[in-house]
């Protein structure tokens, strides 16, 4: 039996490959819905942190520039998911307003979340005063309407200009 004509098989047969692919497809069909919820939970937390950092930047810029910094939605409505920008007004030596300068623009949010504010709706502007305080108090609500498992994050603008975060279950 030492010098047998039987050749050793190298690699996989087509049937073995097809069976492996079917098993992989079944495993993926079970795992993908679970992973989607995980990514959305991670996404809503990351979006919240991103917004919080942008408000901290607005406070820092207001203090450094000794000017009022406005945080406004790009859509000029209560829908903040389309992005927002920070700007301040340049005043010349004569006290005449010359132009508004955009400090930074933040892009639209990925994943189609609902991010809105009943107070800061495009007509009422979110302003940070030169001392870092907020001129108007209000709230922002961040959620994914099609996935209630991630919950709702509410940000309340405090007088100090800092955001207070609360996480709640979906209604």
CA distances from 34 to 38, 41, 70, 84, 148 (A): 7, 11, 40, 31, 14
Residue among 55, 69, 82 at smallest CA distance from 157: 55
Question: What is the residue-level pLDDT of the chain in tens, covering all 171 positions?
Answer: 555 666 676 777 888 889 999 999 888 887 776 665 555 555 666 777 888 888 999 999 999 988 889 998 888 788 888 888 899 887 766 666 667 888 888 888 777 778 888 888 878 888 999 999 998 899 988 887 766 666 788 889 999 888 888 887 766
Let me know how long the chain is.
Answer: 171
Regarding pTM above 0.75, the answer is: no
CA distance 152 to 1: 72
Residue 143: how many other CB atoms lie within 10 Å: 20
């Amino acid at each position: 039996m030492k010098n047998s004509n039987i050749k050793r098989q190298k690699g996989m047969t087509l049937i073995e490959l097809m069976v492996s692919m079917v098993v992989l497809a079944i495993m993926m069909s079970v795992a993908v819905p679970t992973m989607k919820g995980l990514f959305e939970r991670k996404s809503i937390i990351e979006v919240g942190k991103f917004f919080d950092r942008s408000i901290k930047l607005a406070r820092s810029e207001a203090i450094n520039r000794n000017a009022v910094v406005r945080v406004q939605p790009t859509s000029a409505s209560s829908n903040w998911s389309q992005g927002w920008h920070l700007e301040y007004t340049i005043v010349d030596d004569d006290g005449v307003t010359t132009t508004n300068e955009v400090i930074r623009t933040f892009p639209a949010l990925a994943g189609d979340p609902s991010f809105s504010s009943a107070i800061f709706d495009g007509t009422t502007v979110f302003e940070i005063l030169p001392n870092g305080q907020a001129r108007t108090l209000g709230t922002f609500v961040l959620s994914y309407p099609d996935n209630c498992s991630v919950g709702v994050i509410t940000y309340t603008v405090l007088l100090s200009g800092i955001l207070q975060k609360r996480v709640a279950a979906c209604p």
